[in-house]
């Protein structure tokens, strides 16, 4: 029976077999944890996510998929859910030994025969339709239960775009869906690293002009010679601020646009993206600044 690993646990904190099956939705081409049959894993190592609903959903699915008697290691930084792991496992009927190490908590447990509360946690963390956003969404996806103010600002400033384009880091597909409101748009590729976001975007943006791709945009996989790009780039990676990721989005936009093509980008106003934009684009204009966010139009 296989061993599953969720995420990328620091190797000095938790080991897993080399042939373990990756089941994190943030690792492109990983297996779907949801599709693993009940009681079929002989071990699991979970680098648990920080969000409570998302973490309980993952723990519940992993416990469901583990065979009785199989070993579970679940770990997380102490201040990003680690301190609550042992209690959460105990609430599912799975007592765990809880060890502190290097600002993390590492819980080790044997999957008991009987568990409780798994279905409720799986329901709570699963996909659903949210009426206030008129969207399908899932806990763990960026801004899953509210409209991000940056996204809202960019949507309010987007002109009717034309031709072919991309939505870089599409999330639930809000920007892509707004862009497709223009009948002059002939094709748009939406890309995101998060498989859950892509599954929701496929439901939210059901339009034959949209191509929706699960992928890491830093690794290619995008058309070129495009007329437009839209993006609300991430600036966090694994909990810390990561401006390099936002700059990689800007670079990718510059690479896929044709000369004269436009990038519409929103970013937190404190982020120093102007220099990166000016380096790669002929004309850069800040078209809006509000509520701590800035919208740029950058022409290649
Ligand atoms: C700030 S969110 C914006 C989401 C959506 N566009 C919106 O406005 O609601 C940034 C998105 O970029 C995605 N992302 C992060 N790194 C990525 C990468 N290397 N390649 C593709 N997408 C990535 C994240 O999963 C997240 O959904």
> What pLDDT score was predicted for residue 237?
62
216 CB near ligand 1 (under 6 Å): yes
The 3-class secondary structure across 177-238, one letter per residue, is HHHCCCCCEEEEEEEECCHHHHHHHHHHCCCCCEEEEECCHHHCCCCCCEEEEEECCCCEEC
The percentage of residues in the chain with a pLDDT greater than 90, rounded to a whole number, is: 92
- Smallest CA separation from ligand 1 atom 11, residue: 169
Write down the CATH number for the domain with range 3-125. Answer: 3.40.50.150
> What pLDDT score was predicted for residue 93?
98
Outline where 5-107 has alpha helix (H): 52-65, 85-91
| Dist. CA 21 → ligand 1 center (Å) | 24
Q: Domain map of the chain by residue range?
A: 3-125, 128-299
| Dist. CA 147 → ligand 1 center (Å) | 14
265 CB near ligand 1 (under 6 Å): no
Taking CA atoms, 221 is separated from 166, 191, 218, 278, in Å, by 11, 9, 9, 25
User: What is the domain class of 128-299 according to CATH?
Assistant: alpha beta
197 CB near ligand 1 (under 6 Å): yes
- Smallest CA separation from ligand 1 atom 4, residue: 171
201 CB near ligand 1 (under 6 Å): no
Mean of all residue pLDDT scores within the chain: 96
- Sheet containing 3-6: order of strands: 21-22, 3-6, 41-47, 66-77, 104-110, 97-101
Digit-coded pLDDT (tens) for 178-204: 999 999 999 999 999 999 999 999 999
For 219-223, what is the mean pLDDT?
Answer: 91
- Smallest CA separation from ligand 1 atom 10, residue: 234
CA distance 258 to 272: 25
For 197-224, what is the mean pLDDT?
Answer: 96
Q: For ligand 1, pick from 213, 234, 240, 265 the residue to mutate: most ligand atoms within 8 Å of CB.
A: 234
* Closest atom of ligand 1 relative to the 148 alpha carbon: 9
Digit-coded pLDDT (tens) for 241-280: 578 899 999 999 999 999 999 999 999 998 889 999 999 9
Q: At what angle do helices 118-125 and 52-65 cross, to 10 degrees?
A: 130
CA distance 182 to 222: 21
Total Cβ atoms within 10 A of residue 122: 17
């Amino acid at each position: 029976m296989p061993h599953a690993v969720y995420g990328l646990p620091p190797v000095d904190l938790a080991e897993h077999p080399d042939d373990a099956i990756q089941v994190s939705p943030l690792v492109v081409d990983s297996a779907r944890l949801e599709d693993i049959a009940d009681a079929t894993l002989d071990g699991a190592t979970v680098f648990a996510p920080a969000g409570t609903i998302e973490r309980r959903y993952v723990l519940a699915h992993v416990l469901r998929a583990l065979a009785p008697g199989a070993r579970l290691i679940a770990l997380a930084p102490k201040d990003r859910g680690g301190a609550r792991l042992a209690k959460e496992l105990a609430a599912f009927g799975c007592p765990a030994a809880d060890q502190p190490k290097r600002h993390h908590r590492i819980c080790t447990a044997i999957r008991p025969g009987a568990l409780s509360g798994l279905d409720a946690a799986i329901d709570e963390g699963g996909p659903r339709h949210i009426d206030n956003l008129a969207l399908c969404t899932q806990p763990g996806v960026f801004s899953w239960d509210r409209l991000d103010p940056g996204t809202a600002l960019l949507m309010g400033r987007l002109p009717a775009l034309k031709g072919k384009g991309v939505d870089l880091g599409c999330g639930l597909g809000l920007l892509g869906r707004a862009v497709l409101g223009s009948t002059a748009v002939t094709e748009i590729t939406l890309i995101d690293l998060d498989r859950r976001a892509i599954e929701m975007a496929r439901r939210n943006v059901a339009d034959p002009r949209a191509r929706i791709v699960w992928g890491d945009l830093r690794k290619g996989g995008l058309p070129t010679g495009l007329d437009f790009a839209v993006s609300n780039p991430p600036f966090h990676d694994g909990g810390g601020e990561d401006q390099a990721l936002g700059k990689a989005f800007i670079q990718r936009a510059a690479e896929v646009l044709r000369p004269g093509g436009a990038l519409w980008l929103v970013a937190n106003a404190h982020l120093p993206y102007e220099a990166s934009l000016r380096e790669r684009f002929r004309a850069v204009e800040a078209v809006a600044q509000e509520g701590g966010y800035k919208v740029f139009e950058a022409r290649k």
